[in-house]
Structure 1
């Protein structure tokens, strides 16, 4: 009986720890910080973060390998793994979207 209870507890911990994280939507504070930067600065910050944070775990695809619509779910899934803030996620998304396949 104890083994059964311990097994259920362990299974619950495993399931809970595998739960996916959702990125937060940009706030007005994030939007105002982005508004204070020029488009070139945003794209440069996005490119730097993309190279540094996204390239730390795997090879980087060229942003033009995917369309703007393809990048949305990719970023939604990968931003939490790269530990990007909402602001950083927006910068990377701006960079990949600017260079996405047309």
Structure 2
């Protein structure tokens, strides 16, 4: 006798963009956005594991990392975008 387990649950995919849309962000300079991104990166991402340096990965490698990790870190879209802006600005060239 065997048992087959099947689930109809679909996986949700979080998609983020580097475009900041909130009114609060619109008033920030690029340097302020990057600083807030760095602070969030350290606080939220460093909570569970060793932080990679942004230069460990290329820009095109950071986006899938953020898509995978943002839900685990309970980041909202604005926080995700700020962290992505920070790591992309300092990514491996």
Return the TM-score normalized by structure 2. 0.81
Return the TM-score normalized by structure 1. 0.74
1:43-82 deviation line (CA, Å, top 9, x unaligned): 0110011001001111010000000000010000000100
Q: Please state if 1:61 is matched with 2:52.
A: yes
Question: Bigger shift: 31-40 or 62-71?
Answer: 31-40
2:36 equivalent in structure 1: 45
Q: SS of 2:46's equivalent? A: helix
- Bigger radius of gyration, 1 or 2? 1
2-side partners of 1:53 and 1:69: how far apart?
21
**Cα RMSD, aligned residues only:** 2.2
Aligned length: 89
- Unaligned 5+ runs, structure 2: none
- Unaligned 5+ runs, structure 1: none
